[in-house]
Amino acid sequence: MTDSSYWWSTLRALYGTSPVPDLNTCHFFYIHIDERGTSVTFGFETQQLPPHPKPEWSEQAYNTFCFWIEFTGVTNLRVSGIRAEKERTVRIIGGDTADGLQASVNSDTRSIAFAATSSRVSHTSVYLQGPV
């Protein structure tokens, strides 16, 4: 994971000097492979709330932060299995440079890996999870 990647800098703005959530500990709840183009989107949620929330979030109670990372210019897509597993490793290396980046999610029995030319946080949201 590098600071040169646009998705990382978007989260860095919300977290400031506090640690950005480790993708390996976030709930990895969403994968979308766009069959019309060359993009893959991952969805994550965490209860590690950003200390610098968006102003519109101040009007609601929440304990969970969600964010979606969209990768574009995807090539060399490899998928093995489709079920999400709790124990897995998320790696995003490189950045939005001429060399692009490499993304992968691996568990003991499932994996997805690809190269991409760019990445961005396409959406963020917060909500209240659990009993009220």
Give tens-digit pLDDT for 33-66: 998 889 999 999 999 999 999 999 998 999 999 9
Question: Which pLDDT score is estimated for 3?
Answer: 38
Which pLDDT value is given to residue 5?
61
Instruction: Decide: helix, strand or coil at residue 98.
Output: coil
Q: How far apart are CA 109 and CA 14, in angstroms?
A: 34
Predicted confidence at residue 4, as pLDDT, reads 41
What was the pLDDT predicted at 104?
93
Rounded to 5 degrees, φ, ψ at 18 are: -70, 155
Whole-number Å distance between alpha carbons of 112 and 114: 7
Q: For the chain, what's the residue count?
A: 132
Q: What is the pLDDT of residue 17?
A: 94
What is residue 86's predicted lDDT score, i.e. its pLDDT? 67
| Residues with pLDDT less than 70, the chain | 1-5, 82-86, 95-99, 132
The Cβ of residue 50 has, within 10 Å, a number of other Cβ atoms equal to 21
Check residue 130 and give its pLDDT.
80
> Which pTM was predicted?
0.86
